[in-house]
Amino acid sequence: MKNNNKIKAVLFDMDGVLVDSEEYICQAGVEMFNEKGYKVLPDDFLPFTGMGENRYLGGVAEKHSIPFNLEADKARTYEIYADMVRGKLSPLDGVHDFIGICLSKGLKLAVASSADPIKVNINLDEIGLERNLFRAIVTGLDIEHKKPAPDIFLKAAELVGADPRSCLVVEDAVSGVAAGKAAGAKVLALTTSFSPEELSGADWIAGTLAEAGDEVLDW
Q: Whole-prediction pTM value?
A: 0.88
For the cut 80, the answer to whether the pLDDT of residue 195 exceeds it is yes
In the residue annotation, 142 being an active-site residue is answered as no
Q: For residue 14, what pLDDT band results from cuts at 50, 70 and 90?
A: very high
In 3D space, the residue among 137, 142, 164, 140 whose CA is nearest the CA of residue 153 turns out to be 164
User: 152 vs 116, which has greater pLDDT?
Assistant: 152
Q: How far apart are CA 219 and CA 204, in angstroms?
A: 12
Question: For residue 187, how many other CB atoms are within 10 A of its CB?
Answer: 25
Q: Please say whether the dihedral angle defined by the alpha carbons of residues 128, 143, 52 and 116, taken in this order, is positive or negative.
A: positive
Query: pLDDT tens digit string along 164-192?
Result: 999 999 999 999 999 999 999 999 999 99
pLDDT on residue 3: 62
In the residue annotation, 13 being an active-site residue is answered as yes
Instruction: Give first-to-last CA distance, the chain, whole Å.
Output: 16
Contact 159, 110 (CB under 8 A): yes
For the cut 70, the answer to whether the pLDDT of residue 1 exceeds it is no
pLDDT on residue 112: 98
> Is residue 73 classed as helix, strand or coil in its secondary structure?
helix
pLDDT on residue 4: 74
Question: For residue 141, how many other CB atoms are within 10 A of its CB?
Answer: 15
Q: Which of 13, 44, 73, 116 is catalytic?
A: 13
Query: pLDDT tens digit string along 33-89?
Result: 999 999 999 999 999 887 888 999 999 999 999 999 999 999 999 999 999 999 999
Q: How far apart are CA 106 and CA 116, in angstroms?
A: 28
Q: Which of 15, 44, 151, 172 is catalytic?
A: 15
Q: How far apart are CA 173 and CA 32, in angstroms?
A: 24
pLDDT on residue 50: 74
Query: pLDDT tens digit string along 85-134?
Result: 999 999 999 999 999 999 999 999 999 998 889 999 999 999 999 999 99
For the cut 60, the answer to whether the pLDDT of residue 2 exceeds it is no
pLDDT on residue 52: 80
* Alpha helices (H) in 86-116, listed in sequence order: 95-104
